[in-house]
Chain A
Amino acid sequence: MAEATQPLMVDLDPAEVPLEDIDVSQRELWEQNKKYPFFKRLRDEAPVHYCKDSEFGAYWSVTRYEDIMEVEQNWQHFSSDPTIVIQDPEEDFQLPMFIAMDPPKHDDQRKTVQGVVAPANLKNLEGTIRTRVQNILDSLPVGETFNWVDKVSIELTTQMLATLFDFPFEDRRKLTRWSDVATGGPETGVVETEEQRREELYECLAYFQNLWHERVGKEGNDLITMLANSEATKDMEPQEFLGNLVLLIVGGNDTTRNSITGGVLALNENPGEYAKLRNDPTVIPNMVSEIIRWVTPLAHMRRTCVKDYELGGQQIKAGDKVIMWYVSGNRDERAIENPDEFRIDRKRARQHLSFGFGIHRCMGNRLGEMQLRILWEEIQKRFHMVEVVGEPVRVPSNFVHGFVELPVRLHPL
């Protein structure tokens, strides 16, 4: 609808386009990775910016770090209901999930599951993760070009997710598929039709309902047993169960997957930083935070204004759609020194927006960091370089900020 009347941003000069015409939501900007100059223009000239028409309707863009923080902290004005993405939910296919709820229901449901990724539990998982990382890295084809996304990023995160759900290991690639289907649609090419998308998500629901029924009344530390036996979640309707599954699958999948890939790309684009890593592997924990800032695997979160509010001098009205662009706040020169430089020894590298802030802050953040840390520790024990040998293929999405393909070649030590 909007495409017919709106100019295509990728064809325009970000410095010349009239401010009111800027629409940073267009897929082409993300697929071709041309969004950053548009965000810089907004940060400098219209940090709280109204786009009156787009494929997703009218929306506000919040692009500076401090303004994003203000919205994050104020759930009383900026609700997560009915959804946390720019695209409105389909009226006949609602997927309630706790990330898209406000207190108190949000808090009750989140508390049910967050123990599984609490640091105390992670300590028990560290050995398992390391063994898996070693197995994955030792099975890679040395001397051949292969897709890092498929053989490493997806494989590692999917194995992890299968463990958290206690999901049948041999079927684990179903989780990858359901994650892609949940965040994509016919427009991204992941399915042919919306009907096909819903059908596949119902297969996901049916599969998990079987696991649920097996685990009612049982003890266990996996997510399904927790959901099936907690007061806050045991009576969920099927759509709400599916919604929360989608949340946990996407949360554990798309995010770390793209940080794993984006880190390899960033180190290749910054050979000086790769050299620093070789000289001093103790920088890895700090590098992990910098990778997560640099990649910003989820580009935005959306809120819906429920009470009129003034932000950055703009009047936001109840009912307005407000997009917090993490991908822009993480490059805000007002909050982060030389934000367009990838520096693995950056000071205060943990101060980035990629996990969000406030009551919806990412609950799996420590698990994601741990997977990246172990992966890089083990890569450095084996390879002089993971060399990028072709152009990355990016996901055409303004939400999942990631990669479909990254061709690489390994250079053993």
Chain B
Amino acid sequence: MPKITYIEHDGTEHNIDADVGSTVMNAALDNLVPGIDADCGGECSCATCHVMVAENWMPKVGQPSEAEESMLDLNPERQSNSRLSCQIPVTDELDGLVVQLPEFQF
């Protein structure tokens, strides 16, 4: 099982084992990681599962799709490494992934 680390805004770390085939959003919800609201349930339609991907992981995680970009773009607090975690499928290649959670979901 790939390991994912979520770091809350205050620095609290959550290390969890994620299922391949899940998403970075669902893995957080399934393991009670706080800070992800997921209002639309993983449809790329609310932007409340916003995470910042550790820079060294960006090449493997990749860039947002056009639909994701249009949601992220409306968030005044978006960063260059911002992604919606519902749009990141968990794969073996992402074993060790580190993502930072924003202080608030928009």
Give A residues with C-beta under 8 Å from B: 69, 72-73, 103, 107, 110-111, 114-115, 118-120, 122, 348, 350-351, 355, 357-359, 361, 363, 366
How close is B57's CB to chain A, nearest CB, in angstroms?
25
Known: A350-B38, A361-B46. 5 other contacts (CB 8 A): A73-B67, A111-B76, A119-B104, A119-B106, A357-B43
Bound form: Cα–Cα A165–B33 in Å: 37
Which listed residue (B43, B73, B106) contacts A69, Cβ 8 A? B43
* Cβ-defined contact, B45 with A69, below 8 A: yes
* Cβ-defined contact, B74 with A110, below 8 A: yes
Flag B74-106 by CB within 8 Å of A: 1 or 0 each: 101100000000000000000000000001111
With A73-B67, A366-B106 as known contacts, state yes or no: A115 contacts B43, CB within 8 Å: no
Closest residue of chain B to A335, judged by CB?
B41
A to B CB contacts below 8 Å, 14 in the list: A73-B43, A73-B67, A107-B70, A107-B74, A114-B76, A118-B77, A119-B105, A120-B77, A350-B39, A351-B38, A357-B40, A357-B45, A359-B74, A361-B45
Give B residues with C-beta under 8 Å from A: 37-41, 43-48, 67, 70-71, 73-74, 76-77, 103-106
Bound form: Cα–Cα A107–B43 in Å: 20
* Cβ-defined contact, B39 with A351, below 8 A: yes
Instruction: Tell me which residues across on chain A come within 8 A of B43, comparing CB atoms.
Output: 69, 73, 357
Which label, helix, strand, loop or mixed, suits the secondary structure of the B interface? loop
Instruction: Tell me which residues across on chain A come within 8 A of B104, comparing CB atoms.
Output: 118-120, 122, 366
How close is B18's CB to chain A, nearest CB, in angstroms?
20
Closest residue of chain B to A362, judged by CB?
B46
How close is B32's CB to chain A, nearest CB, in angstroms?
13
Bound form: Cα–Cα A119–B41 in Å: 21
Bound form: Cα–Cα A104–B73 in Å: 11
With A73-B67, A350-B39, A358-B45 as known contacts, state yes or no: A111 contacts B103, CB within 8 Å: no
Bound form: Cα–Cα A119–B77 in Å: 9
How close is A355's CB to chain B, nearest CB, in angstroms?
8
Instruction: Tell me which residues across on chain B come within 8 A of A363, comparing CB atoms.
Output: 74
Interface centre among B37, B40, B77 (most CB of A within 10 A): B40
Bound form: Cα–Cα A163–B39 in Å: 28
Instruction: Tell me which residues across on chain A come within 8 A of B45, comparing CB atoms.
Output: 69, 72-73, 357-358, 361
